[in-house]
Copies of this chain bind each other. A is one copy, B any other.
Amino acid sequence: MITTDTSVREQIVSTADRLFYKQGYNLTGINQIIEEAGVAKASLYYHFHSKEDLCVAYLKRRGEKWSAMLAKYIEGVSDPKEAIIKCFECRSKYLQQNGFSGCSYIRIIAEMPQRSAKINKQAVLNKEKQREFFAEQVSKLKKVPGNSVKDFANTIFLLFDGATVQCQVYRELSPIENALKALKILL
């Protein structure tokens, strides 16, 4: 049995997630969220103290969505080289499915230069998780190009973010293809 709490809260977060990501944080009003979520304004402010808090929940949700998608995509893959490539391919699918809206953490920071501590923390946390994924895979490689594991993981991370934002700007997947080409030469 689903308690009403979870259902209403969930409805709010999933609607905010969709709208913030599609329209941007600043261009999405509370009123639109409650309308499309089909909940009362008082309910939203019962669950979230402010729009800012809802934003943190949104970022968390985005991180979980991406992690789940990636985990499923590399399920059973033991070769680190393949896992890294698959991660980029997964990103390609993700961007395509989400209308080339880029990285939600980067975007929220681009939208709010006067970053609130809460939002900044969540965004950086999510980004670090991705860096750690690459570091873990690179540490499993037999031969690491260049100097160190850390450096090579950072290089991949740069290609990953570069490709993500360029896909957003150009609204096409070619930057991911470019990153894959670079990766295949490096690996």
Contact = CB atoms under 8 A, between A and B. Distances in A.
A169 B111 contact: no
B111 A110 contact: yes
A184 B102 CA distance: 28
Contacts of A26: 24, 26-27, 111
A130 to B, nearest CB: 11
Interface string A80-108: 00000000000000000000011001110
Contacts of A155: 159, 178-179, 181-182
B114 A23 contact: yes
Given A105-B169, A162-B161, A181 B24 contact: no
A64 interface: no
A158 B185 contact: no
A113 B106 CA distance: 14
A102 B111 contact: no
A175 B111 CA distance: 21
Contacts of A111: 24, 26-27, 110-111
A109 interface: yes
Contact of A109 (B123, B147, B158, B169): B169
B185 A146 contact: yes
Contact of A168 (B24, B109, B114, B145): B109
Given A27-B112, A145-B185, A151-B181, 12 more contacts: A24-B110, A24-B113, A26-B27, A106-B165, A110-B111, A146-B181, A146-B182, A154-B175, A154-B182, A155-B182, A157-B162, A161-B166
Interface of A: 22-24, 26-27, 101-102, 105-107, 109-114, 123-124, 127, 145-147, 151, 154-155, 157-163, 165-166, 168-170, 175, 178-179, 181-182, 185
